[in-house]
Amino acid sequence: MKIYGDSISGNCLKVKWTADFLGLTYDWIEVDVLRAESRTPAFLAMNPAGQVPTVVLDDGRPLAQSNAIILHLADGSTLVPADAYERARMLEWLFWEQYSHEPYVAVARFQVKYQGKPVPELEPRLVERGKAALQRLEDGLAATPFLVGDRVTLADVALVAYTRMAGDGGFDLADYPWVTAWIARVEQALAIG
């Protein structure tokens, strides 16, 4: 398997972390999005959306979109709950992550860290929504050590990727003690640091 990804991207890292956790063999191919390497004709032939991560499975079939990739890789593993309701809760978090978390927390990080925008110049709505996303996580973690109960699932993998880097976008994780403790638990469970 080949994983095409940019190491600065949380979406790419969650694919790497899932593969590593599962002990899968793969070749990591670094694709620098800041240099438009995902927009080359060869890359676009593999993934017409021109986005990373993209995986080429052992049989040659490509697969894109980070959460689709991690769901495919982890199918049948402990990262996907066997209980139907818990699996649906995991999916609920995965869908929420791409719609209500990543577009704010990750975008603020990108603008500050990679585009050099000062935090005070971020669009207020972006900051407001990012804080709301972090608060939603804080509330969701008040009763359980992981997002779907007592052990790590793909929900945790997906959401820790950009949450652990939220400070790069001007968000103060000290305001979210349950989130901060959860980040440490997920990093330990996935053996990332």
Residue-level pLDDT at 183: 98
Q: How confident is the model at residue 186 (pLDDT cuts 50, 70, 90)?
A: very high
Residue range 135-162: average pLDDT? Answer: 97
The CA-atom distances, in angstroms, between 9 and each of 82, 107, 149 are 29, 11, 27
| Beta carbons within 8 Å of 42's beta carbon, 6+ residues apart | none
The DSSP element (H or E) to which 164 belongs, if any, is none
Mean pLDDT of all residues belonging to the chain: 97
CATH of 2-74, one of 2.102.10.10, 3.20.20.120, 3.40.30.10, 3.30.930.10: 3.40.30.10
Q: What percent of the chain has pLDDT over 90?
A: 99
Residue 193, pLDDT > 90, answer: no
Tens digit of each residue's pLDDT (9 = 90 or more) over 72-120: 999 999 999 999 999 999 999 999 999 999 999 999 999 999 999 999 9
Residue-level pLDDT at 168: 97
Where do we find the tokens 């509330």? Answer: 139
- Fold topology of 84-190: Glutathione S-transferase Yfyf (Class Pi); Chain A, domain 2 (1.20.1050)
CA 69 to chain centre: 11
pTM: 0.95
For the chain, give every domain's residue range.
2-74, 84-190
CA 171 to chain centre: 17
